[in-house]
Structure 1
Amino acid sequence: MYFIIPMVIFPRRTGHYLPLMGFAIILGLSACAPPSKVPPRAPSALAQAEALAAEGRYLAAATEYIRLAAETPPPQRQDYQLRAVAALLQGNQWQEAQELLESIAPESLAPALSLRYRLLAAQLAVAKGEAKRALSLLKDIEALEPSLEQQATLHRLRAEAYELADKPLAAAHERVQLEPLLSDAQALQENQRALWRGLMGLSPDTFKRLRKESLSNTLRGWLELAQLFQRYPLDPLGLQQAIEDWRKRYPGHPASLALLQAEMPTLPTAPYQPTTIALLLPTEGRFAASAAAVRDGFFAAYYSDNSDWTPVIRFYGVKIDSKSSNSNAYKVYQQAQAEGADFVVGPLTKQSLAQLAEVGDLPLPTLALNYLEKSHKPVGGLYQLALSPENEAQGVAERAWRDGHHNALVLIPDTQWGQRVRDAFTERWEKLGGSLLEVQAYDPEKEDYSFLIQRLLNIDESQSRHRELRDLLDRQLAFEPQRRHDADFVFLAAFPRQARLLIPQLQFYRAEDLPVYSSSHIYTGSPDPERDLDLNGVIFSDIPWVLNGNMQDEPSYQNLAAVYPEHFERLKRLYALGSDAYRIIPHLNALYRVPDMTFEGATGRLRMDAEQRLRRELNWAQFKKGRPQPTANPTSQP
């Protein structure tokens, strides 16, 4: 491979003339002496290249190293080439660095040069987001006996590669090993920040599992500290006491608590604690059963609350017309205000919320248990929390994108609900940069979806081409229908009955290797391995009360399961909504004022957006042998 070496013109700088000026003065003072015939020595080409790199002129430095390599035999040639690669990487010239690396035959390198080659190749792979290649290059590299500086580079690269691969625990292990090799204060802070960000993304289930693992004392200390910060995000006094106890268990731990606390959002106000809460929910009609579960979840959280906050709760029934869906929500709201309420929870339905919001800004802080439509103008004083299918569809798009997929197929029911889910998924998916290859809407009342799935997978086009070729040649041809191969995954919006029919038919038409993603609606909420065996492999999201075993230790959960055994499993998500509706009230001000603040709820990790909607980050699971098995949660949103 040939390289074109560009001409580099250096600007004049006063400092370059000082040695010559001094030399001239000396000549002037020595006029009697014969003039010297030896010119002042210019810096060597190597020194010049090193100086350019030190000045941050990486491309110019690489050019000098390449010139030196062209004039020098091996093994010094490869040394200069590797120096050039390092300079190009420092200057973010990835393509040029890759071309130069490809011109070097690694198998011909001595151990010391081979070590440098692999570290540089791994650095390039990390820069390009190729985690698997980077880790492969760094495997067993310790056998080449790296220096302390090279060991630091090795651990840093491995940590960055594991972070790219969404393996925060492995990354943390590397960063713990990197720390004692660092002497620069800024590098130490950057390493701890990166380690901390990874650990704070671990799920409670992961922390629980790691208690049984054999870990170094330092790493275990980091894990316990991260768990404390997750457990007390909105309780600074509780966190401070927990940290003091942690210090006693881990004396001399390297974690910089001041740095880590600076990384965490701080509470701008004391907890908000209204004295009288009005709970507005329907008491009859088709929403009555759902509302009862929300109400019972709300009161279960209230009676399980051990804090000093003891508000008065008043329940108000909302009537909804079965034909028009109109309600008396605003009239009931006014009644609650007149009777002394200073906070309102409800209403529950979209129609009631829209009617309430039509009056404009609300006189009382209100936590609605649904979302306003996007087209509705913002309403002052209104917070919104919902079990939103649109929210879940957006989460599926984000998860599929983080898993490396780019081309989607979509199966939705031919209903208004299905259209809402499709629109939400499509909007988020395309905003991320994904491509929507095909959408098919199925009739949820049918059982045979073979024709629809053939269209989704383009099998009907394959069959059409076969018929055209058969007719053209006027003879029978051996034929096996082929599905499309440009799709990465299928997003399936379905309830359990339809999903148990659709998944086997997808597999029948040779789509068994296509990952299938879905929302919580695909799962009843209770294990049913015999009936859910057909859902094996499906990846789906759901609330912590369904997928997180640790949540079953909460008093609210236990009380509801004991008091309502017949309804709890079926309506668990609605009970969880009621529980969160009570528990989150003291923290609404903090969540509003601090964008990065989160609340670990029964319905998910809650975060407030600019429109005061509480968005839910859910847990993830995959069906295996008919049972949902928790999978790693994404560490962050794309």
Structure 2
Amino acid sequence: QSYQLSAINAFLKGDMLPEAKAELAKLEVSKGFGLEIPLEFVYTRIDLADQHVGQAMKRLQSLDPTTLSKPQQIEYKQLHAQAVAAQGLLIEAIQEWTEIDRLANADPNTIRDNHRQLWRSLSSHNLSKIKHVHQDDDIVSGWIALALVTKSSPPTQLWQSINNWKLRFPNHPATQHIVPTLVQNVNQTPPLQHIALLLPPSNSQYSKFAEAVKQGFLAAVETTPQNRPNVTLHHVDDMNVLDVYQKLVNDGVDFVVGPLLKDTLTILAESQPHLPVPTLGLNRLETLNRTGNLYQFGLSPEDEAKAVAKRAWADGYQSAFVLIPEGNWGDRVLTAFQTEWERQGGQITTQHVYDSDFGSSIPKALRRQSVKEANMVFMVASSKVARQIRNFLTAIIGDRLPIYSTSHVYSGTPHPEYDNQIEGIMFVDMPWVLAPDEKAAQLQANLFEFFSSEMEKYKRLYALGIDAYTLVPELQQLSQRQWAGQTGHLVIDNQGIIYRDQLHWARFVNGEPQLIEVNQVYTQE
């Protein structure tokens, strides 16, 4: 049994969650069994992978670290540090990882793995909240300073920035394993000369979307002070995408970003099993077949639906009443929510698919007996539609049920004179909209100066363009598999699909979104 648990633990450490769960399902073991790896450690890793941070903390708190062996104490602290970091308490997490160094007693492999784990967590978090926090501990300060240096320095200046950091922190633990890796990546990654951006034609119905992505992308390029790549724009559709792509390959392009539309991207993905140059598609395909050298990144509503399921479950709700618009898009959102909701143990008591004539159908749905069995509502709607649906909800079932929604319920710009009609609704959205850091705020100010009306309508697509450019050098070297982006915490899987994770949450208060902290549990008043 210890051997099986070790194998499961190895799967989890390698981000192979489905394999770990499959093996765990075969295993029958009691918690009291004397095991090399406590069963609670395995379940805690699964909780953390599933973003059930509160449950992970409860499991760890049920253990007495003083009864564990030294290797188990180290693993306990590693798991505790990950859980604390997932709650946004990065300084406390760094202190915990630092303590592991002392426990490891100079074992080089343990210390190396510990530093890598610490660095992965730091690299993937938004550091704006701790940027100005004064720390007397030079080790903690050094880790934070190094992370800020790597996030803020353009590739051409990173080597010098790291050297400056080494002068400030000459004996810092990061100089053992992390800094050499950073320097090696800088030296091995050739600067990009030519990036091609593939977007829909300017005369298509998607031209406004394409323009927002383009301007966001170019705004991010402008933040590169030296050795900026040459970015060329190419209009593609289903008819010409293969010819345009092949010509770019023949001309020696270094990296391709796009296409934006799913059908056009599908044509490119299915044209050959392995694309000749790295390509970042700005959408996510539903096929499971992996096309080599193709990465997929888009503002997928499925990511938000899963986030709603996780958040509502963490808040203590188990029975959902779901309101979804008709059509393929709504079906995808429903499937994503239902899969994650039921995986956690939740149930959908009633689901209603509404059309444009929802004025009569929704009141009927609300009067079903099964609605009374729900203890939360998942509503997917635009802000305009949400206001009308909210009136039905209030009139028929009152305000007893908390309402969760996706980013579509918020236009991206405060309009309290309208949004006071959806008071109290909780929704998930990207950092760019709810909590922009200093870099994002400056980019938004620059873009708003020239594209004020477009920024109000297509704000999130500008962020997609910015993150797309930011991802290009990261995908070129793939030294890590997660990043803090403007659209969310970005994680890449083994299929080259980039998911948005750890999104921000807000609640409408006086008609304006009020940020909710990640570890703040919401209960209906």
TM-score, reference length from structure 1: 0.59
**CA–CA separation in structure 2 for the residues paired with 1:175 and 1:446:** 54
- What per-residue deviation string (whole Å, max 9, x for no partner) do you get for residues 546-592 of structure 1? 1223256565433321111121121111122222222321111333x
Q: Is 1:226 matched up with 2:147?
A: no
Equivalent residue letter for 1:348: L
Whether the 8 Å contact between 1:608 and 1:614 is mirrored in structure 2 is yes
How many residue pairs match? The answer is 456
Whether the 8 Å contact between 2:155 and 2:186 is mirrored in structure 1 is no
Equivalent residue letter for 1:206: K
**1:284 shift after superposition:** 1.6
**CA–CA separation in structure 2 for the residues paired with 1:606 and 1:174:** 21
**1:287 shift after superposition:** 0.9
Which residue is 1:345 aligned to?
Answer: 257
Equivalent residues in 2 for 1:515-554, closer than 5 Å: 515-551=402-438
- Specify which of 540, 545, 563 is matched with residue 450 of structure 2: 563
**CA–CA separation in structure 1 for the residues paired with 2:285 and 2:389:** 32
> Cα–Cα, structure 1 residues 520 and 505, in superposed 2: closer, same or farther, change >3 Å?
same
Whether the 8 Å contact between 1:383 and 1:613 is mirrored in structure 2 is yes
**CA–CA separation in structure 2 for the residues paired with 1:162 and 1:380:** 32
Q: Is 1:631 matched up with 2:520?
A: no
**CA–CA separation in structure 1 for the residues paired with 2:127 and 2:377:** 29
Which residue is 2:373 aligned to?
Answer: 484
**CA–CA separation in structure 1 for the residues paired with 2:193 and 2:116:** 40
Structure 2's unaligned 5+ residue stretches are: 1-30, 41-54, 64-72, 521-525
Q: Is 1:308 matched up with 2:221?
A: no
**1:422 shift after superposition:** 0.6
- What per-residue deviation string (whole Å, max 9, x for no partner) do you get for residues 17-54 of structure 1? xxxxxxxxxxxxxxxxxxxxxxxxxxxxxxxxxxxxxx
- Specify which of 130, 134, 138 is matched with residue 207 of structure 1: 130
**CA–CA separation in structure 2 for the residues paired with 1:419 and 1:353:** 21
> Cα–Cα, structure 1 residues 231 and 605, in superposed 2: closer, same or farther, change >3 Å?
farther
Q: Is 1:610 matched up with 2:494?
A: yes
Whether the 8 Å contact between 1:294 and 1:575 is mirrored in structure 2 is yes
Equivalent residues in 2 for 1:79-158, closer than 5 Å: 129=59
Which residue is 1:111 aligned to?
Answer: none
Q: Is 1:317 matched up with 2:235?
A: yes
**1:356 shift after superposition:** 2.0
**1:496 shift after superposition:** 0.8
**CA–CA separation in structure 2 for the residues paired with 1:411 and 1:498:** 11
Equivalent residues in 2 for 1:328-477, closer than 5 Å: 328-361=240-273, 362-375=275-288, 377-447=289-359, 449-455=362-368, 458=370
- What per-residue deviation string (whole Å, max 9, x for no partner) do you get for residues 323-365 of structure 1? xxx4322222233334443432221111111222231232332
Equivalent residues in 2 for 1:246-285, closer than 5 Å: 256-257=173-174, 261=178, 267=185, 270-271=188-189, 273-282=191-200, 283-285=202-204
Q: What secondary structure is seen at the aligned counterpart in 2 of 1:302?
A: helix
> Cα–Cα, structure 1 residues 89 and 273, in superposed 2: closer, same or farther, change >3 Å?
closer
**1:289 shift after superposition:** 1.3
Whether the 8 Å contact between 1:503 and 1:535 is mirrored in structure 2 is yes
> Cα–Cα, structure 1 residues 309 and 262, in superposed 2: closer, same or farther, change >3 Å?
closer
Equivalent residue letter for 2:174: L
- Larger RCO (alpha carbons 8 Å, 6+ apart): 2
Which residue is 1:298 aligned to?
Answer: 217
**CA–CA separation in structure 1 for the residues paired with 2:165 and 2:395:** 55
- Specify which of 186, 208, 216 is matched with residue 289 of structure 1: 208
- What per-residue deviation string (whole Å, max 9, x for no partner) do you get for residues 520-553 of structure 1? 1111010111211132322222222212232565
> Cα–Cα, structure 1 residues 569 and 191, in superposed 2: closer, same or farther, change >3 Å?
same
> Cα–Cα, structure 1 residues 90 and 515, in superposed 2: closer, same or farther, change >3 Å?
farther
**1:199 shift after superposition:** 6.9
Which residue is 1:99 aligned to?
Answer: none
Whether the 8 Å contact between 1:300 and 1:560 is mirrored in structure 2 is yes
> Cα–Cα, structure 1 residues 342 and 185, in superposed 2: closer, same or farther, change >3 Å?
closer
- What per-residue deviation string (whole Å, max 9, x for no partner) do you get for residues 288-314 of structure 1? 111122122222222332132433x22
Q: What secondary structure is seen at the aligned counterpart in 2 of 1:373?
A: coil
**CA–CA separation in structure 1 for the residues paired with 2:474 and 2:114:** 31
Q: What secondary structure is seen at the aligned counterpart in 1 of 2:188?
A: coil
- Larger Rg, first or second structure (1 or 2): 1
**1:280 shift after superposition:** 1.8
Q: Is 1:622 matched up with 2:517?
A: no
Equivalent residue letter for 1:394: K
**CA–CA separation in structure 2 for the residues paired with 1:352 and 1:439:** 33
**CA–CA separation in structure 2 for the residues paired with 1:174 and 1:304:** 30
**1:385 shift after superposition:** 1.4
- What per-residue deviation string (whole Å, max 9, x for no partner) do you get for residues 470-494 of structure 1? xxxxxxxxxxxxx326x3x322211
**CA–CA separation in structure 2 for the residues paired with 1:301 and 1:90:** 49
**1:256 shift after superposition:** 4.1
**CA–CA separation in structure 2 for the residues paired with 1:230 and 1:200:** 9
Q: What secondary structure is seen at the aligned counterpart in 1 of 2:416?
A: coil
Whether the 8 Å contact between 1:279 and 1:345 is mirrored in structure 2 is yes
Q: Over aligned residue pairs, what C-alpha RMSD do you find?
A: 4.6
Which residue is 1:172 aligned to?
Answer: 92
Which residue is 1:63 aligned to?
Answer: none
Whether the 8 Å contact between 2:419 and 2:511 is mirrored in structure 1 is yes
**CA–CA separation in structure 1 for the residues paired with 2:128 and 2:407:** 19
Equivalent residue letter for 2:208: A
- What per-residue deviation string (whole Å, max 9, x for no partner) do you get for residues 424-460 of structure 1? 22223333443333322122443453222233x635x
**CA–CA separation in structure 2 for the residues paired with 1:174 and 1:317:** 47
**CA–CA separation in structure 2 for the residues paired with 1:260 and 1:405:** 44
Whether the 8 Å contact between 2:390 and 2:422 is mirrored in structure 1 is yes
Percent of aligned pairs sharing the same letter: 33
Equivalent residues in 2 for 1:237-252, closer than 5 Å: none
Equivalent residue letter for 1:629: Q
Equivalent residue letter for 1:515: P
Which residue is 1:473 aligned to?
Answer: none
**CA–CA separation in structure 2 for the residues paired with 1:170 and 1:222:** 10
Q: Is 1:597 matched up with 2:481?
A: yes
> Cα–Cα, structure 1 residues 224 and 422, in superposed 2: closer, same or farther, change >3 Å?
farther
**CA–CA separation in structure 2 for the residues paired with 1:496 and 1:130:** 41
